[in-house]
Amino acid sequence: MSVLRINISKLSEGTHHHSLKATPEEVGLDSRFTKELQIEATLEKTSRQLYMRVGIKTSGVFTCDRCLEEFEQEISSGYGVMLVEDQEAVEGDDEEVQLISPDSAHVDLAEDVRQFVILGLPQKVLCREDCAGLCPTCGLNLNLGKCDCKNDEDDSRWSELQKILKN
Ligand SMILES: [Zn+2]
Ligand SMILES: [Zn+2]
């Protein structure tokens, strides 16, 4: 049973806050994620609808794509979803809509939380924005010092190009 379930039966109209915690394993995140997830869910119920906003914080140990060093990074992510019992009730809306069965007493966040943490990761994982990477000749981590290799790339034009490629 998921630890990220919120009881939505007998929910009164108004705003409800829930603070939840889960380990990365409990939501199915891989071993790169090291810190307990902090989840803040806000439910807004009106007579006609139920809207839920979810904010997620955790951190993990990642391998830099450029210098291959491991580093820790915080991850923040979040999403909002309209919980409806009847898909027909919502039309022409670009909000994400999640169908719940009329007699479901809980909403389970685990799968969405897992997906949005993954989506919160940058495409290129870098230990820092200006990571110097490894020397292509001797493999030295250029963040730690300079080597004596004569690499053609080692000039300012190359770093300009890298900036463009990064974006
Ligand atoms: Zn790096
Ligand atoms: Zn070198």
134 Cα: distance to centroid of ligand 2 (angstroms): 8
CA of 61 to the centre of ligand 2 (A): 27
Q: CA-to-CA distance for 14 and 12, rounded, in angstroms?
A: 6
Q: What is the whole-number distance in angstroms between the Cα of residue 83 and the centre of ligand 1? A: 41
Closest-approaching ligand to the CA atom of 71: 1
- Closest to 75 (Cα-Cα) out of 44, 46, 34: 34
Separation between Cα atoms, residue 158 and residue 166, nearest integer Å? 12
Give pLDDT tens digits for 95-131. 688 888 777 788 999 999 999 999 988 888 999 999 9
Question: Cα(136) to centroid of ligand 2, in Å?
Answer: 7
| Cβ neighbours of residue 152 closer than 8 Å, sequence gap 6 or more | none
Tell me how far apart the alpha carbons of residues 115 and 110 are, in angstroms, rounded to a whole number. Answer: 9
State the distance from the centre of ligand 1 to the C-alpha of 67, rounded, in angstroms. 4
pLDDT in tens, 28-66: 999 999 999 999 999 999 988 899 999 999 999 999 999
Q: pLDDT tens across 125-150, in order?
A: 999 999 999 999 999 999 999 999 98
Sheet holding 14-22, edge to edge: 14-22, 37-45, 50-63, 70-84, 97-99
- What digits encode the pLDDT tens for the residues 74-95? 999 999 999 988 766 666 555 6
Q: Does pTM top 0.75 for this prediction?
A: yes
Q: How far is the CA of 31 from the centre of ligand 1 (A)?
A: 20
